[in-house]
Amino acid sequence: MRIAVISDIHSAYAPFATALSDARTIGFDQLILLGDLFTYGLDPKACAELAAEAIARDGALLVGGNHDQLYIDMENGETGYFDRMPEWIKQSAEWTWAQLGSHWPDNLPMVD
């Protein structure tokens, strides 16, 4: 079985799209998106859309990381993790959250 793993995307669309294209070219039996889709980068919405497309088209499994859980917690009004973050990460998380809008977490199912 050939497994392709893409991890620590952090809202960086171009490298994510390149890695996904390369994986599709080489071929795989299972694609795993291994957490941390968001925070830091400039393209959270595009990354959410590409991840959703990979889930639908390739049967990708999304395994959430701490930065993914952060936005689920924010959606649920839980701020414990966010409150402990350094200010510069909080700023990035708030900006990312504003960009994502309805793109997270509804259309990105994570495996348990």
* Cβ(61)–Cβ(32) below 8 Å: yes
Q: What is the pLDDT of residues 54-111, one digit of tens each?
A: 999 999 999 989 988 888 888 888 999 999 999 999 999 999 999 987 656 667 888 8
- Quote the pLDDT of residue 111: 86
Contacts of 24 (CB under 8 A, 6+ apart): 58
Residue 3 identity: I
| Overall pTM > 0.85 | yes
How far lies 53's CA from each of 11, 48, 65, 66, 73, in Å? 15, 9, 19, 22, 24
* Residue tagged 């639908």 (tokens): 56
| DSSP 8-class letter at 36 | -
Helix (H) or strand (E) holding 57: helix 44-58
